Structure 1
Amino acid sequence: MKEKKFTGIRMLQLLLCSLLMLGVSCKDAFDGDTYTAYEEVPISLYLKENKDRYGLWVEVMEKANLYNTLNLSGNYTFFAPVNEGVERYLQAINVNSVAELSENDANYLVRYHLIPTVMIEFAQFESGAINDLNATDDNLFVEFRDGGTEAIYLNGAARFNEYDIRTTNGVIHSIDDVLIPLVETVFDRFEERANWTLFRELISMTGYEERLSTVYTETTDPMGNPIQQRFRYTAFVVSNETFAQEGITSVQDLLDRLEVTDTDYTEPTNSLNKYVAYHLMEQQRAYADLGKFPESAYKMNFATMAPNELVKVSDGGSGLVLNEDLESGEKISFVEINIACKNGVVHEVDNWMPVFLPEQVRVIWEFTDYPDIEANVSQYRNNNLGSQYNKTFTPNELTNITWNAQPEYATGEVVYRNNRPTEGNWYQCLNHDHLRAQLGESGWIEFKSPTIVRGRYRVSFVWPSTRYSSHTGIVAFIMDGQMIYSRLVISNSREDRNLTQNLGTIEFTETTDHTLRILSLDGGLITMDYLQLDPID
C-alpha cells in the first residue's frame, strides 16, 4: 500500500472532488492516494483487511472505481454487505462473478450503500427513513422488528449484523445482504401488488398517476436556469380485501357508496377525487415521522392532498392509529408500513378510510414545512451537518410563501437555514432549521397555513432571537387580513436564545387553511421557527 501525507488544503480539495465524482466518474481518480492516520485505517482498507467477511464487496468497490475514494479523509456512513450476501445478489441477477458487473452498475450499487459527508451511528437510527440522502439522492429506510438489535433491517431486506465499526473516515454498518437500489415509484408499488388493483384503478381515474410516477420535475429558476425538483409523497393504500369488507368490489360500488354524480373524476371537488386525494400526502411521512407529536401531545392532524381534509394520527398504545373516533372508539390500524419508493413511501391500512373530520388538536405550523421547500433544499432537516447550510430563495420560487420587499426595486432575501449541532440555540430550533428574512421597512412575508380545524386557539410565535445592542427586527402579525399582534421585537439584548411570544386568542369559523402575514416595521432581520396553536375548549 502506498501511503501519502497531505496538507489540509490538499485533503479538502480531494474530498470535494471525490463527492463530485461519486455520481459521474467511472475511473477511480484517487488510485494510489490512500490516506491513513495513526494506527487506524479508513473504510476501504478496513474492508480489505477483513476480506474473509467483505472480500466480495471490496471487489464490487474496485469494479466501481470507488475503492480509493473511500480511503480519503472525510465523513462517511457505509453499509457493507458480507460475502454471503454478495453471493446471493450475484445469483439473483444471474451473474457468476463480480467481474461480470459493468462499471456503471457497480458504481451505482456502491453509491447506493453510501451516505456521504456524515457519520450516522446506531444510536441515531429511528424506524423509518434516514434523513440524510445517500450518494444516489435516495432515502434508505430502517425497520425495527421484534427481536431487538438482532432484528433491525435496512430497506426491509438487509438485516444488520454489526453496528458502528469506526474507521478514520467514517462508520461502517455491516448488513447480511446487498441492497437492491430503489427504482419503483409510489405508483409502481401499486402495480406490483395483485391485491391493490382497485386502489390503483382509482389513482389512474382521478389523475394522480402521473404525479405518483414522477421522481424528478424539470423546471427553471427565476433566472431561467434549468433545475430539478424532487417531490416525495405518502400514500395510505387500501387492499381489495379491505374494500370487500365494506361491500366494495368495483369502482362502481365505491361511486355508489360515495354518491358520486359528477363524472369529471379529475376535478378536486369531485367526491371520488377527494376520497382518493385523502389517501395521499404531498410529503414523505415514514411511520416514525407520523408519530412525532408535539411535546406533551399524543395526537396530530396531517394535511392530505384533498383540499382542507385532515388525517388524524394518534398514539394507540401499541402503535399508531388513524382517525380514532373518541365517541365510538373506532380507529384505523396499519397492515404494513414503510414500503419504500423512489419518490416516497406507502403504508397499507385495514379500513377503506373515508374522509374523516377530526377534533381540534395542537397545531405546529412550522415555517419550513412545505413540499416546495423540501424539494428545493439539498440538506432539508439534516440533523448532523458538518457546516451550516443556507438556501436563499428568490421571489416566485415558492408557492406557499410569498413576500414583498421595500423599496419596490428591492427583491429582499428569504433564507432557509439548517444548523449544525455545535450552534447552540440555533440547533435547538424545531427540526434544527428556520427561515430568515430581510425585507426592508414595510416589507412583508406571507405564509399559507396547513388546514386547521375550526374553533378557538391560543396562538404563540416561537423564534430564535439574535443578540443585538439595540432593538431590531420589529414585526407585526396579520391573520386573514386582521391584525392580531401589532409589535414584536425579534432581537434581544442579552444573548442568542429561543423565545416564545403569546399573540393572543383567535377563532376560526370553518375548517380550512389561513394566511399569516408578518410585516417588517423596521427592515431588520426576522427569524421564524413556528407558530403554535393550542385549542381552547
Structure 2
Amino acid sequence: MKANRHTRLFLFFLCSIFAFLSSCRDEFEDNTYTAYAETPIATYLKNNPEKYALWVQVLEKADLFNTLNINTVYTHFAPVNEGVERYLKTLNLASVADMSKEDANYLVRYHLIPDFEIDLGQFQSGAINDLNATDDNLFVEFRAGGLEAIYLNGEARFNGFDIKATNGIIHSLDDVVTPLTATIADRLNDPKYSLFLEALESTGYKELLSTIYTEGTDAAGNPIQQRFKYTAFAVSNAVYARDGITTFQDLLAKLQVPSGSDYSAASNALNKYVAYHLLNQQLSYADLGQFPTALKKVNLPTLATNELIKVSEGTAGLQLNENPISRLAIQFLETNIACKNGVVHEVDNWMPLFLPEQVSVIWEFTDYPDIAANVTQYRNRTLGAQYNKVFTANELTSIVWASQPETRANVLTYRNNRSADGIWYTGTLNYDHFRVELGESGWMQMKSPTIVRGKYKVKLVWPSTRNAASTGICAFVLDNVMIYPRLVLSNTSTDRVSTQELATVDFPETTDHTLRILSLDGKLLTLDYIQFDPVN
C-alpha cells in the first residue's frame, strides 16, 4: 500500500509541477524522494551549512525545501551565506525569519529552472533560453577573467559550477540575484537616456515597452495572458550630442519632422526612427550573432515597416549597419541590459535608418512573436519529451488558413523535438517545425520578413517523413504568383531533411512578401524554413 501511495503521488507531481512551484505551500513536505545513497538538491545544500545555511532557511521559509528534494530535474542557482546576508541588509531585514513567505517563495523560484539540467557547457553570453519558475529569462555574462568572472544577471558571480545532485544541477553564487521587475521603459527612465525616452513617449512606444503581459482569450473564450518580448537599441544623450542633437527639437530638425506633427503615425519620420531601434523579439548579444551557416551577416526586421538593421562580425565583435564601402559601423557600448520584457543594448551612434545590401534571408515559419508568446517550450533545445502546441485560428494573426472542412481540428501544430528524435531535432532549424493538415484544397498564408530589393533564388527546407506512399503534396504561391505547382513533402525510404529550389524571383522594392501554401492532397505537411539567396 505504501508503494502504491508513492506511485500515485509521483504521477500526480508530473502533472502538476508548475502549479506546485507557483504555490507558497511545500506540497512535498512528507513525500520527499532520495535515490540510493546520493543526495538531492535541498539535502545537498543542508549538508553544507558553512556555505548554504541561510539559503536553506530561505527554502524552508518559502515552503519549497522538500519540493527541491523530489525525483525530477532542476537547475538551481544557490547563493552562499555571505550573499544572503548582503541581500537581507539591502532589504533592511535582520534575518530570513523577517521575510514574508510569499517573497521567499518568489525569490527561490526566480533562482530555479524546472525540468532542465543546464550545465556550464551550455552557458553563453546572454539569455538562458529555458525560463525559470517565475517565467523569466536569466542572463549569463562573461567578463574578462575566465571562469572566475562569469555573472548571473550581471550582479551575482558564479563561484562554483555543475554540482551534481540526484535531481539536477546546482550552480553556486556569491550573491542573491534580485528578481527582475524593470521593463525596458523602466531601464530607459535614466537621465543618460532622457532624449531617447522623450522620443519613445512622443511616438507612443513607451507604453509598448512598459507592457509585460497582453490580455487575450483562448479558443473557448477564456481570458489568457500572452507575453511579448522586445529588443531595444538605446542611444544616450552623450551620443546624440556628438551629432549636434541636444534637445528633442534638435532631433526633430535632424529628421526633418515638423514640430507638432502626428508623431504616432507610422509614416511619420520620428515614428519610423524610434521604431527602427526596436525589434519584436528578445535577442541577446549572443542571439544577434547567430548567423545562418557560413554567413557573417544578417538583416533583422525592425518595428519600422520594411526597415532593416544589418548585424555583422567586426574585428572587435558584432557591429551594426556597416557601410560596405567605408567600413564604418555602429558599435555596442553596453549589451544585455536585462529587462522583464526583453533586453536593451546601448549603441555608440544615433542610428538613423539604413538600407543594407542583399544578404541571404532565412525565413523560419515558426519565427513570429505570437508563436513565441503562445508556446511554453519555444525553441527549447533541452527537452526531455516531445512538445506539441496545437493552434486555433483566433490565437494567431501572423498566420491565417482555410481548412477543409472549416471545422477541421489540429490544422496547425508547432512541434519542438527532443535530442533523441534524430533528424527532427538535429536536422531542423532551432529544433522546431510546423506540422500542417489543411485537408484537400486547404491553404495557409503568412508574411515573410522584409527582404532587400533584388534577385534571389528561393528554396524550401523541410523534414521529410517516411511514408508508404508519396503524400503531403502542396503548391507555393508568392505574391499571387505560382512559383512551384506541385511538391511532394513525404518520401518512401526514411526520415530525412530535404531541400527543393522553388524559383528565382526579382523583388523591385524592399518590403515583405506574401506566401500561400496550397494543400493538394490534404495530407500532412512538415515545414521548416524558406531561404532566399542573392543572385549577383
In the alignment, does 2:524 pair up with 1:532?
Answer: no
After TM superposition, give the deviation of residue 5 of structure 1 in Å: 9.9
1:234 pairs with one of 231, 234, 237: 231
- The 2-side partners of 1:438 and 1:479 are apart by 20
- Report what 2:274 is aligned to: 276
- Report what 1:206 is aligned to: 203
- Report what 1:222 is aligned to: 219
- Report what 1:430 is aligned to: 429
- The 2-side partners of 1:101 and 1:369 are apart by 42
1:195 pairs with one of 148, 168, 192: 192
- Report what 1:105 is aligned to: 103
**Larger CA deviation: 95-104 vs 29-38:** 29-38
- The 2-side partners of 1:67 and 1:409 are apart by 48
- The 2-side partners of 1:221 and 1:18 are apart by 22
After TM superposition, give the deviation of residue 19 of structure 1 in Å: 2.8
- The 2-side partners of 1:18 and 1:67 are apart by 14
Q: Per the alignment, do residues 48 and 5 of structure 1 end up closer, same or farther by CA in structure 2, a change over 3 Å counting?
A: farther
1:387 pairs with one of 385, 388, 397: 385
1:312 pairs with one of 310, 315, 334: 310
- The 2-side partners of 1:15 and 1:161 are apart by 32
- Report what 1:134 is aligned to: 132
Structure 2 residue matching 1:293: 3-state secondary structure: coil
Alignment RMSD, CA only? 1.4
- Report what 1:174 is aligned to: 172
8 A Cα contact 1:396 1:402, kept in partner: no
8 A Cα contact 1:4 1:33, kept in partner: no
Q: Per the alignment, do residues 409 and 173 of structure 1 end up closer, same or farther by CA in structure 2, a change over 3 Å counting?
A: closer
- The 2-side partners of 1:94 and 1:111 are apart by 22
After TM superposition, give the deviation of residue 411 of structure 1 in Å: 5.7
Structure 2: 5+ residue stretches without partners: none
In the alignment, does 2:486 pair up with 1:507?
Answer: no
Structure 2 residue matching 1:422: 3-state secondary structure: helix
- Report what 1:287 is aligned to: 285
- The 2-side partners of 1:277 and 1:147 are apart by 37
After TM superposition, give the deviation of residue 504 of structure 1 in Å: 2.1
8 A Cα contact 1:4 1:34, kept in partner: no
After TM superposition, give the deviation of residue 159 of structure 1 in Å: 0.7
1:302 pairs with one of 300, 303, 320: 300
Structure 1: 5+ residue stretches without partners: none
After TM superposition, give the deviation of residue 170 of structure 1 in Å: 0.5
- Report what 1:186 is aligned to: 184
1:50 pairs with one of 20, 44, 48: 48
Structure 1 residue matching 2:379: 3-state secondary structure: coil
- The 2-side partners of 1:416 and 1:50 are apart by 44
Q: Which amino acid aligns with 1:56?
A: L
- Report what 2:253 is aligned to: 256
TM-score (norm 1): 0.97
Q: Per the alignment, do residues 412 and 98 of structure 1 end up closer, same or farther by CA in structure 2, a change over 3 Å counting?
A: closer
After TM superposition, give the deviation of residue 126 of structure 1 in Å: 1.0
Q: Per the alignment, do residues 447 and 255 of structure 1 end up closer, same or farther by CA in structure 2, a change over 3 Å counting?
A: same
- Report what 1:465 is aligned to: 464
Post-superposition CA distance 1:199-232 (Å, at most 9, x none) = 0110000001111001011111233111100000
- The 1-side partners of 2:316 and 2:145 are apart by 16
Post-superposition CA distance 1:403-434 (Å, at most 9, x none) = 11123454661011111111100012100001
Query: Sequence identity of aligned pairs in percent?
Result: 62
After TM superposition, give the deviation of residue 7 of structure 1 in Å: 5.1
After TM superposition, give the deviation of residue 57 of structure 1 in Å: 0.3
2:79 pairs with one of 78, 81, 96: 81
- The 1-side partners of 2:249 and 2:371 are apart by 39
Q: Which amino acid aligns with 1:530?
A: Y
Total equivalences in the alignment: 533
Post-superposition CA distance 1:445-464 (Å, at most 9, x none) = 11100000000111110001
